[in-house]
């Protein structure tokens, strides 16, 4: 997009002559100059073609069939391809929906044995029809595997039935009954189970995962005692991995070994970030130097009125008032003056240099 077009988009948006967010678009294009003023030329999510689209702030800003998506740090309307992506247990031939990964034998053309699944944290942390199993690669220790038959080792009982060699038991350690077997030499074949006084392998009392640990959201596990995080932390889905996190910023940094990142990768000035065990801090959220002794950093960035410098002078807010009707009229007069000046500038440039927008 050329500089003159960007300039007029900005000015006209300020004056309210064109909307900052627009729901129209969809025409094919090669560059931004092929699109209407205020629009951008982007490639479709499926990489099939380029089309004109507009900025958005929410899903309601986009037309039917499109959603508001983050495109390189800018929110733009793009076609919604989620309906084409595989859901839990479905083929991953066309990819998987957000938060899911493709599991199986690695052959994407093997529709029967490759399907979309997700990471789990132990027996009972998968939805109905799945069980939690080990995954040998890609650094994910557990994933939900399709249950072919009746449940076994530690998994919730289906209609009080378990696979051959297992029995369905209840106990205070779990909300739902689960399948278990007799202890072997005082031990259990599943690491997360212990030998109980009845010589049956039992779950230990469920403990909520702590900051930075893997977690399970409320809509994806049979066993409710495994859902959520310790101490009211948030279970945040970042890509294919969910982990317990908390708010952070430059004044309230994350613990050592964790970075402070923006939610969903969208930079919003003044907003808090989230602590991530897998990322370094975003530059604008990085902790402030500890040797900044000239100022008292006991406030958040938005608390500008409370900022105290080394000279112990505070900002005077006694004259701050809300906008009156006179202020609004003055602003309207200023906007009209800017508009008249712009039209004069355009006419002069076109007359002298053959300028075109």
Q: What is the rounded distance in angstroms from the CA atom of residue 121 to the CA atom of residue 143?
A: 8
Residue 111 vs residue 21, higher pLDDT = 111
pLDDT digits (tens, 9 = 90+) for 337-351: 666 666 666 666 555
Res 139: pLDDT: 56
Res 157: pLDDT: 92
Highest mean pLDDT among 4-13, 104-113, 229-238, 323-332: 229-238
pLDDT band with cut points at 50, 70 and 90 for residue 229: very high
- Find, among 6, 12, 3, 5, the residue nearest to 342 by Cα: 12
Residue 73 vs residue 285, higher pLDDT = 285
**How buried is residue 158: exposed, middle or buried, by Cβ count under 10 Å (0-12/13-18/19+)?**
middle
Res 347: pLDDT: 61
Res 316: pLDDT: 44
Res 183: pLDDT: 93
pLDDT tops 60 at residue 311: no
Structure tokens at 98: 């957000």
Positions of E strands within the chain: 40-43, 50-53, 66-71, 74-79, 101-103, 115-117, 130-134, 142-146, 167-169, 178-180, 193-195, 201-203, 234-238, 241-245, 247-248, 259-261, 273-276
pLDDT digits (tens, 9 = 90+) for 158-211: 788 999 999 999 999 999 999 999 999 888 987 789 999 999 999 998 888 999
- Is 115:143 a contact under the CB 8 Å cutoff? no
- Is the whole-model pTM more than 0.85? no
Q: What is the rounded distance in angstroms from the CA atom of residue 53 to the CA atom of residue 209?
A: 42
pLDDT digits (tens, 9 = 90+) for 107-160: 656 666 788 888 888 889 998 889 988 665 555 568 888 888 899 989 999 788
- Find, among 109, 117, 69, the residue nearest to 89 by Cα: 117
pLDDT tops 50 at residue 241: yes
């Amino acid at each position: 997009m050329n500089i003159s077009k960007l300039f007029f988009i900005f000015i006209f948006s300020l004056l309210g002559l064109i909307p900052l967010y627009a729901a129209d678009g969809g025409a094919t294009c090669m560059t931004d100059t092929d699109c209407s003023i205020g629009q951008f030329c982007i490639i479709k999510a499926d990489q099939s073609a380029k089309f004109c689209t507009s900025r958005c702030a929410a899903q309601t800003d986009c037309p039917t069939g499109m959603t508001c998506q983050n495109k390189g740090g800018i929110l733009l309307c793009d076609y919604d391809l989620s309906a084409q992506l595989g859901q839990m247990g479905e083929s991953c031939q066309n990819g998987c929906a957000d938060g899911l990964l493709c599991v199986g034998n690695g052959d994407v053309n093997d529709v029967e044995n490759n399907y979309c699944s997700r990471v789990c944290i132990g027996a009972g942390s998968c939805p109905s029809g799945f069980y939690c199993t080990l995954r040998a690669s890609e650094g994910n220790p557990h994933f939900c595997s399709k249950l072919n038959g009746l449940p076994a080792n530690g998994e919730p009982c289906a209609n009080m039935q378990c696979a051959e060699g297992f029995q369905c038991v209840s106990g205070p350690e779990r909300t739902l009954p689960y399948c278990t077997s007799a202890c072997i030499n005082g031990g259990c074949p599943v690491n997360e189970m212990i030998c109980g006084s009845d010589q049956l392998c039992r779950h230990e009392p469920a403990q909520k995962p702590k900051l930075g640990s893997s977690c399970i959201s409320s809509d994806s596990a049979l066993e409710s005692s495994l859902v959520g995080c310790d101490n009211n932390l948030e279970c945040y889905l970042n890509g294919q991995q969910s982990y317990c996190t908390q708010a952070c910023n430059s004044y309230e940094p994350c613990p050592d070994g964790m970075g402070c990142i923006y939610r969903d990768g969208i930079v919003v000035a003044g907003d808090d970030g989230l602590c991530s065990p897998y990322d370094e801090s975003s530059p604008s959220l990085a902790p402030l130097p500890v040797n900044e002794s000239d100022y008292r950093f006991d406030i958040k960035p938005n608390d500008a009125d409370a900022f105290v410098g080394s000279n112990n002078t505070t900002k005077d807010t006694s004259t701050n008032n809300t906008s009156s009707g006179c202020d609004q009229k003055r602003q309207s007069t200023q906007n009209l003056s800017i508009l008249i000046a712009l039209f004069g500038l355009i006419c002069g440039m076109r007359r002298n240099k053959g300028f075109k927008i």
